[in-house]
Structures are given as C-alpha cells and as structure tokens.
Amino acid sequence: QVQLQESRPGLLKPSETLSLSCSVSGGSVSSPAYFWGWIRQPPGKGLEWIGSVSYRGKTFYNPSVKSRVTISLDTSKNHFSLNLKSVTAADTAMYYCAGSAGWFDPWGQGTLVIVSS
Amino acid sequence: DIQMTQSPSTLSASVGDRVSITCRANESISSWLAWYQQKPGKAPKVLINKASRLESGVPSRFSGSGSGTEFTLTISSLQPDDFATYYCQHYNSYPYTFGQGTKLESK
C-alpha cells in the first residue's frame, strides 16, 4: 500500500522560497500507475491543485502559480518535491502531496506552511 | 479553466436522512469527476471516481451519478460518521479544479 509523507519546512518570511518534499513508501515514483501531485488548502478554505508530475518527470502546473512553481521527481530518493518562489501571506496553507490517476489517492497527512514577517 | 460549482454550500440533515449534493461544471467533463470527504484536521479521502465508481472500502450508502456538466453525490441513509465536508474535483483536463465544498452538518 502506497503511503506518502510530506517534509516540514517551518515558518517562512515573505519573498522566501517554499521547499517541500514528499517521501513515497510502498511504491515507486517511477511507477506508471501514478502521477504525483501537490494540493493546498488555506485555513478554513477549499482545495487548490498546484501541479503534478508524471512518472517520466513531465510537469503540469496551475496557471495561478505557474510562474513561481517547480515540481520534480527524485527517483534515487523515491520522492518528489515542490518549490514555490517568492511566497506571500496568500501562500499560507496546508500543503498535501498525493498520488494521482486523475483523482487523488493516496494523500499525505499534510504540512502547514505559514508565511509571516 | 473549468469551474466547478457545488450546491448547497451547507446542508443540515439528520441521521437516517437521504441527502444529495450537486456539482456542476461550466463545460462538459464527460465522467471525469471524483468526490472526496474531508474531516477537520485530516486529508481528503476519495469516495468516488469516474463520476459513479465507488472506491474500495467506501460504504455502499454513498453513490455518484451524472455526466457532462451535472453530477450528484447521494448518501442513502446518513450515518453519524458522514458529517464532514465534501468536495468534487474534475480531471478532464489541466488545470484540475475542485468545487468550493459542501459542509454536511447535523440538524
């Protein structure tokens, strides 16, 4: 059974870069069964898809963050990563990683990212 | 981008009730729709994919229907564990988008 676990980046200041990784256990990021995605949820609000990466490393991004975001695979560590540049308070959210076959399953437990000066 | 609109935003119901939540897309997404349940402090859990396909382990009181632009999640007999927030999500094309959520609360 595939399980996902996000890293914990801590508190960020405006203009810094958010870097998260998602460790995959019970499966391989190179498996053609999955794409791998990031979804975020601001406190008290709904879900926003950030982007996804295929098992071959092809990426797909939400236009709302496309100019600031990079998602990548690291097959040697069996994880995938999210980098979001120039964060602002609007990027404060719970960040989830997930496997994807279109819909998202499984999900990591989520990690709270707070952007504050 | 395809916009997903759920209704109602809040639904008050009692144990044993039959409840339905609607999700509308602003253009056709065929059957490329999933439904999720989210409880406070937890990650969402997928209930249904491809509009009507029940995920393994999900109780049969949950069902999904629809195609094109209009979709429905139905709970046939509400149980105490079902009070949560529900989201729809399309995966017809990128960018994937979610509905704004429907909070199902106890009457």
Residues of A in contact with B45 (CB under 8 A): 105, 107
- Rounded mean pLDDT, B88-95: 97
Residues of A in contact with B44 (CB under 8 A): 47, 96, 104, 107
Contact A105 B96 (CB under 8 A): no
* Closest residue in A to B32 (Cα–Cα): A102
Q: What is the pLDDT of residue A9?
A: 74
Q: Give the integer Cα–Cα distance in Å for A79 and A91.
A: 22
* Closest residue in A to B55 (Cα–Cα): A105
Q: What is the pLDDT of residue A55?
A: 92
Measured at the CA of A42, the angle between CA A108 and CA A63, to 5 degrees, comes to 90
Residues of A in contact with B95 (CB under 8 A): 49, 60-64
Q: What is the pLDDT of residue B3?
A: 97
Q: Give the integer Cα–Cα distance in Å for A30 and A75.
A: 7
Q: Give the integer Cα–Cα distance in Å for B4 and B38.
A: 17
Q: Give the integer Cα–Cα distance in Å for A23 and A90.
A: 26
- pLDDT tens profile B70-80: 999 999 999 99
- Rounded mean pLDDT, A7-14: 88
Give the three-class secondary structure for B81: helix
- pLDDT tens profile A31-71: 888 899 999 999 999 999 999 999 999 999 999 999 999 99
Tell me the shortest Cα–Cα distance from B43 to chain A, in angstroms: 6
- pLDDT tens profile A57-66: 999 999 999 9
Which of A47, A58, A67 has the most B C-beta neighbours within 10 Å, making it the best mutation to test the interface with B? A47
* Closest residue in A to B85 (Cα–Cα): A46
Sole residue written with tokens 């039959």: B18
